[in-house]
Chains A and B, each alone.
Chain A
Amino acid sequence: MRESLSPKRLEGSGRWLLKILTGLLIVIFLGIHFVVNHLVAPGGLLTYADVVAYFQNPIIVVMEISFLILVVIHSFLGLRSILLDLNPSPTVLRMANFVLVVIGTAAAIYGTWLALTIASRG
């Protein structure tokens, strides 16, 4: 029954705005990321030691973690939007919501753990 889901739970202005804002921040962060990795650190971060050294800067750690979270939100909202184009049944959509939230949260936690682990190895 489609009525059981209110339209706004499916997709609305708020979620669209979130997608645009995360997208914008990603573009900015990715710009910084490219500049830092390819211009400031010539040759890039190609060895384990380089990466550990790079992660000693707390600003970098915060930036990398927030970057990951933004990317996960943006890409999973996008995936969900593509799924909505397929006009899923409410059951399929509920399952997809669950899977996306679980994988997204897991990816964010895993990435945060990874960043903090590397930072602690200085």
Chain B
Amino acid sequence: MPNQPDSNNWPRWFDPRSRSLGTFGYILNRVTALGLTLYLMMHLVALGQLARGADAYDGFIALVKNPLFKLGELLVIAAGVIHGLNGIRIALNSFGIGVRRQKSTFITLMLIAVFIIVFFAFKMFSEG
């Protein structure tokens, strides 16, 4: 990779080596953003089954009850929670609020995120 700024250097966005906490927030935000956008498109296509009537949709729901899809669904929830909570920090920072407390804010928000994700994981996988 070139040493100077170059669009081919984009993998470095996701490289946390020799970086601090702020970069983890940045990487998490970017990865979840891309993942959620992909999910949005897939979700819209999948919900098209609704238009095709009860049988098509209920058949589709039966398919996504499989554990693999459930895991995917949990990933989407996790991404949404992380992106949303982290986004609150970035939005506040953008108005000059709490920039110097950004690390402790990040840790607090991510602990809340873990709590919510674990809650959903238990809920989803215990309902069977």
Do A and B touch (CB < 8 Å)? yes
Contacts of B36 in A (CB 8 A): 75
Majority secondary structure of chain B interface residues (helix, strand, loop or mixed)? helix
Known: A114-B47, A114-B50, A117-B51. A47 touches B58 (CB 8 A): yes
In this assembly, does A35 line the interface, its C-beta being within 8 Å of a C-beta of chain B? no
Q: What is the CA–CA distance of A98 and B127 in the complex, to the nearest angstrom?
A: 44
Contacts of B75 in A (CB 8 A): none
Minimum Cβ distance to chain B for residue A121 (Å): 9
Contacts of B94 in A (CB 8 A): 16, 20
- Complex contact B84–A30 (CB within 8 A): yes
- Chain B residues 78-128 with CB under 8 Å of chain A are 80, 84, 87-88, 91, 94, 123, 127
Minimum Cβ distance to chain A for residue B89 (Å): 11
Known: A47-B61, A75-B36, A75-B37. A27 touches B88 (CB 8 A): yes
Contacts of A110 in B (CB 8 A): 44
Contacts of B50 in A (CB 8 A): 48, 51, 114, 117-118
Contacts of A30 in B (CB 8 A): 80, 84
Name A20's contact: one of B37, B47, B61, B91 (CB within 8 Å).
Answer: B91
Majority secondary structure of chain A interface residues (helix, strand, loop or mixed)? helix
In this assembly, does B3 line the interface, its C-beta being within 8 Å of a C-beta of chain A? no
Q: Which chain A residue has the least Cβ–Cβ distance from B36?
A: A75
Name A23's contact: one of B34, B44, B91 (CB within 8 Å).
Answer: B91
A-B pairs with beta carbons under 8 A, tally: 64
Name B10's contact: one of A48, A76, A86 (CB within 8 Å).
Answer: A86
- Complex contact B84–A26 (CB within 8 A): yes
Q: What is the CA–CA distance of A21 and B55 in the complex, to the nearest angstrom?
A: 39
- Complex contact A114–B48 (CB within 8 A): yes
Contacts of B58 in A (CB 8 A): 47-48
Contacts of B44 in A (CB 8 A): 107, 110-111, 114
Q: What is the CA–CA distance of A117 and B53 in the complex, to the nearest angstrom?
A: 11
Contacts of B53 in A (CB 8 A): 48
Contacts of B54 in A (CB 8 A): 47-49
On B, residues with C-beta under 8 Å from A are 5, 7, 10, 13, 30, 33-34, 36-37, 40-41, 44, 47-48, 50-51, 53-54, 57-58, 61, 80, 84, 87-88, 91, 94, 123, 127
